[in-house]
Amino acid sequence: MVERKQRSADPASLEMINFACEAEVPIAWDRLDAQEPQCGFGRLGICCRNCTMGPCRIDPFGEGADRGVCGATADTIVARNLLRGLLGGAAAHSDHGRDIVHALALAAEGKSDAYKIKGTVKLRKLAEEYGIPSEGRNDQEVAKDLAHLLLGEFGRQEGVLANVARVPEQQQKFWAAAGVTPRGVDQDIVTGMHMTHIGVDNDPEHLVMGSVRAALADGWGGSMIATDVSDILFGEPQPTRSLANLGVLNEDEVNLIVHGHEPTLSEVIVAAAGDPELVALAESKGAKGINLAGICCTANEILMRHGIPVAGNFLQQELAIITGVVDAMVVDVQCIMPAIARLQECFHTKIFSTSPKAKFPGMTHIEFHEDEAMETAKKLVRLAIENFPNRNASKVRIPKEKEGLIAGFTTEDIFTFLGGRYRPSYRPLCDGIQAGRIRGLAGVVGCNNAKFTHDRYHLEMVKELIRNDILVVQTGCSAIACAKAGLLAPEAAEKYAGNGLQEICRAVGIPPVLHVGSCVDNSRILTAVVEMVKEGGIGDSIDKLPVVGAAPEWMSEKAISIGMYVVASGIFTVVNPPLPVRGSRYVEELLTKTFEDYFGATWAFEEDPIEAAHLMIDHIDRKRRDLGLPPPMYEVPYAPKTVETIETAEAAAAL
Ligand code: SF4
Ligand code: MSK
């Protein structure tokens, strides 16, 4: 049981959690308590219900059954479950990517008033990369060919994904040797599902490699396509100032929250909320205006392109409604708790589901289709306005907390900042790392999880990294956690960063923690490390770079896929909670040790955020040492381990 005062590290959330308890409104943490004790077999990954001879479970103590009815061992069951979970995540990202490409096709064919091609530079760049003729052709013509080509990547039946060409040579060799080069997005997901069917693949290593291939099809395929096409359709993000936390909700305005992941509807809602007729309608109802805010990754999408404030991350979706001032919440797909529908019984908020893929009992379903996007967006804004007079003043309680932030860095623009307007290259970043002013780079991403104090793991880890001169890039709910704590503001450098990182941040005016987008935008981290390899001087393949990854509070199946493609791309990654593989020592060792031989990187499981940060720093220091780079330029709180200490620790670990 997570004690009430330990449920969140965020004061605004804690205030609303206490309020919910007083009002006897059950929220995620109460439902977690009701689930205790949770199933130990599930946690270890050793239960199987892939056929009706089961469910089967393996006795972890070696006293009971050591096989399922069909004879599947713990190793097989664990690997199969890992693959099935990962496929759920890879499918979610990739289906998101497909929808964005459909919207691009509509825009290219002139079939949509809502979508226009805004990112023309990126459109032309991608056309060149994929060999689409662009000279003498207008944007629509080029975009039509690009949309057609990218849709083909989902259904590709022959060869390998086009984006494999983006991957450094060494990673391509690793993948070819392991037989995991991604072939087609849908194909790798469907083949993975087939492998998990009873009596198909029973070799644990082969099943894990099936996971790797599907994850790579997500990271370098579905997710990367989603990011690229969002930039073409909605414009490439630029660093933008905004605010985060529940304090962005306004008592005297109509508050409309968008929640979920896909930007196709939320982008249009941004335009609809500024419609003068709708603003006038809001004023006629006694509101001072229309206040749009976001939760989860929909928030990240419209934050980085329009500066729309963020109301909160995953575990704040219920808390936002409990403020009593959310007139409408519009949801699409992924990370939307069905529980929020029930809150409509206690609060005036109206919740609308919109995706043809996602209906929720108790929500009003107003289905969204790209070809009538603006009409639907205006309808939803109008419904929010009409609900404004229904607020119950006695239930209104808005926490005051809101923090300033800068969001919207991309592979293309991050290091324009470091390089300056006249020298937009990765050279200054690589120079900074070579000299030891920046010790390395860490991607810290992922969700919240009601099992851990909300946001605490993200904050402790990120603070420990930046005070040790490690530049942090972030996506998803992790970025929102750090935004709320002020870590995405330039001033955070003076307050929390080490001397070297401070110097860089001061010189170019960036925060020590860079927001690079939503969950699908983890692909920006992949393309950024490719640029680092191309720039040279800090490793000629991704696995040699002083770069690490982490997901300190993950909960979604998408995080399994993200972690897997990041590791298989050569980046050491620490997660908490551990993957549900501990029922098989073989699979755990494969992921946390043997993967080094396959991909030059491993997973690590560490529950303490500071210890996890130290594992990441040790890895960065090891990579620096292997490259012959000097130790950090300035004294750092977590001192670099000497060669001897590392070797002794490695020897001890091997015993
Ligand atoms: Fe049991 Fe095998 Fe069926 Fe799984 S597939 S439920 S282990 S019999
Ligand atoms: S929203 S997947 S809780 S990061 Fe992308 Fe947040 Fe995790 Fe959902």
Considering every ligand atom shown, identify the ligand nearest to the alpha carbon of residue 299 and give its number: 2
- Residue 276 clears pLDDT 80, i.e. is over it: yes
Return the ligand 1 atom nearest residue 49 CA: 6
Residue 206 sits in a domain whose CATH number is 1.20.1270.30
Which residues, 6 or more positions from 532, have their beta carbon under 8 angstroms from its beta carbon?
A: 426, 429, 430, 441, 538, 539, 545, 547
- 382 within domain boundaries: yes
**Is 54 touching ligand 1 by the criterion CB < 6 Å?**
yes
Which two tokens mark 644?
């001897």
Please tell me the distance between residue 297's alpha carbon and the centre of ligand 2 in angstroms: 6
Distance (Å, whole) CA 212 – CA 566? 10
For residue 179, how far is the Cα from the chain centroid?
27
The verdict on whether omega for the bond into residue 55 sits within 30 degrees of 0, i.e. cis, is: yes
Together in a domain, 437 and 462: yes
- 432 within domain boundaries: yes
**512-532: pLDDT as tens digits:** 999 999 999 999 999 999 999
Domain end among 369, 395, 421 = 395
Q: Which of 180, 192, 373 is nearest to 267 (CA)?
A: 373
Please tell me the distance between residue 222's alpha carbon and the centre of ligand 2 in angstroms: 17
Domain end among 395, 426, 447 = 395
Q: Which of 167, 111, 181, 160 is nearest to 140 (CA)?
A: 111
Please tell me the distance between residue 446's alpha carbon and the centre of ligand 2 in angstroms: 6
**Is 477 touching ligand 2 by the criterion CB < 6 Å?**
yes
Together in a domain, 277 and 183: no
Residue 482 sits in a domain whose CATH number is 3.40.50.2030
Distance (Å, whole) CA 41 – CA 62? 13
* Domains of the chain: total: 4
Q: How high is the pLDDT of residue 512?
A: 97
**316-365: pLDDT as tens digits:** 999 999 999 999 999 999 999 999 999 999 999 999 999 999 999 999 99
**Is 151 touching ligand 1 by the criterion CB < 6 Å?**
no
| 130, 151 Cβ separation under 8 angstroms | no
Please tell me the distance between residue 181's alpha carbon and the centre of ligand 1 in angstroms: 29
Residue 260 neighbours by CB distance under 10 Å: 28
**Is 73 touching ligand 1 by the criterion CB < 6 Å?**
no
**614-631: pLDDT as tens digits:** 999 999 999 999 999 999
Distance (Å, whole) CA 513 – CA 450? 24
- 655 within domain boundaries: no
Q: Which of 364, 366, 324, 318 is nearest to 339 (CA)?
A: 318
Considering every ligand atom shown, identify the ligand nearest to the alpha carbon of residue 334 and give its number: 2
Together in a domain, 143 and 182: yes
**Helix or strand run (H / E) with residue 57:** strand 56-57
- Residue 391 clears pLDDT 90, i.e. is over it: yes
Alpha-carbon dihedral 504, 507, 512, 517, rounded to 10 degrees = -110
Together in a domain, 374 and 439: no
| 549, 445 Cβ separation under 8 angstroms | yes
SS3 268: helix
For residue 540, how far is the Cα from the chain centroid?
27
Phi, psi of 104, deg, nearest 5 = -65, -40
Together in a domain, 506 and 432: yes
Summary mean pLDDT of the chain? 95
Together in a domain, 615 and 635: yes
For residue 169, the enclosing domain spans 74-234
Q: How high is the pLDDT of residue 71?
A: 98
Please tell me the distance between residue 481's alpha carbon and the centre of ligand 1 in angstroms: 40
Distance (Å, whole) CA 195 – CA 197? 6
Average pLDDT of span 55-82: 97
**573-588: pLDDT as tens digits:** 999 999 999 999 999 9
Please tell me the distance between residue 67's alpha carbon and the centre of ligand 1 in angstroms: 9
SS3 357: coil
Task: Tell me what percent of the residues of the chain surpass a pLDDT of 90.
Answer: 92
Q: How high is the pLDDT of residue 426?
A: 86
| 572, 549 Cβ separation under 8 angstroms | yes
SS3 439: coil
Considering every ligand atom shown, identify the ligand nearest to the alpha carbon of residue 46 and give its number: 1
Together in a domain, 31 and 108: no
Residue 136 neighbours by CB distance under 10 Å: 6
Q: How high is the pLDDT of residue 422?
A: 57
* Residue 309 pLDDT grade (very low, low, confident, very high; cuts 50, 70, 90): very high
DSSP E strands, 480-623: 513-515, 547-551, 572-575, 603-605
Q: How high is the pLDDT of residue 585?
A: 97
* Residue 371 pLDDT grade (very low, low, confident, very high; cuts 50, 70, 90): confident
The CA R_g of the chain, rounded to the nearest whole Å, is 24
**553-572: pLDDT as tens digits:** 999 999 999 999 999 999 99
- 405 within domain boundaries: no
Distance (Å, whole) CA 18 – CA 36? 21
Together in a domain, 223 and 123: yes
- 555 within domain boundaries: yes
**Helix or strand run (H / E) with residue 471:** strand 470-474
Pairing mode, if any, of strands 547-551 and 572-575? Answer: parallel
Return the ligand 1 atom nearest residue 51 CA: 3
Q: Which of 84, 58, 53 is nearest to 584 (CA)?
A: 58
| 121, 236 Cβ separation under 8 angstroms | yes
Together in a domain, 523 and 444: yes
Phi, psi of 255, deg, nearest 5 = -105, 120
- 400 within domain boundaries: no
The residue whose CA has the least distance to atom 2 of ligand 1 is: 70
Please tell me the distance between residue 564's alpha carbon and the centre of ligand 1 in angstroms: 25
Select from 316, 335, 340 the residue to mutate for testing ligand 2; criterion: most ligand atoms less than 8 Å from CB: 335
* Residue 112 pLDDT grade (very low, low, confident, very high; cuts 50, 70, 90): confident
**44-57: pLDDT as tens digits:** 999 999 999 999 99
* Residue 509 pLDDT grade (very low, low, confident, very high; cuts 50, 70, 90): confident
Select from 46, 48, 78 the residue to mutate for testing ligand 1; criterion: most ligand atoms less than 8 Å from CB: 48
Together in a domain, 353 and 457: no
Q: How high is the pLDDT of residue 413?
A: 82
Which two tokens mark 234?
């909605």
**Is 114 touching ligand 1 by the criterion CB < 6 Å?**
no
Q: How high is the pLDDT of residue 425?
A: 81
**346-359: pLDDT as tens digits:** 999 999 999 999 99
**Is 476 touching ligand 2 by the criterion CB < 6 Å?**
yes
**Is 290 touching ligand 2 by the criterion CB < 6 Å?**
no
Average pLDDT of span 119-137: 97
Select from 41, 56, 59 the residue to mutate for testing ligand 1; criterion: most ligand atoms less than 8 Å from CB: 56
Distance (Å, whole) CA 20 – CA 320? 11
Please tell me the distance between residue 575's alpha carbon and the centre of ligand 1 in angstroms: 29
**469-506: pLDDT as tens digits:** 999 999 999 999 999 999 999 999 999 999 999 999 99
Together in a domain, 225 and 283: no
Together in a domain, 377 and 474: no
Considering every ligand atom shown, identify the ligand nearest to the alpha carbon of residue 81 and give its number: 1
Q: Which of 431, 500, 508 is nearest to 471 (CA)?
A: 500
**Is 420 touching ligand 1 by the criterion CB < 6 Å?**
no
| 552, 446 Cβ separation under 8 angstroms | yes
Return the ligand 2 atom nearest residue 313 CA: 6
- 530 within domain boundaries: yes
Q: Write the CA distances from 363 to 260, 342, 358, 426, 438, integer angstroms.
A: 15, 9, 11, 47, 48
- Residue 108 clears pLDDT 60, i.e. is over it: yes
- 529 within domain boundaries: yes
- Residue 170 clears pLDDT 70, i.e. is over it: yes
- Residue 269 clears pLDDT 80, i.e. is over it: yes
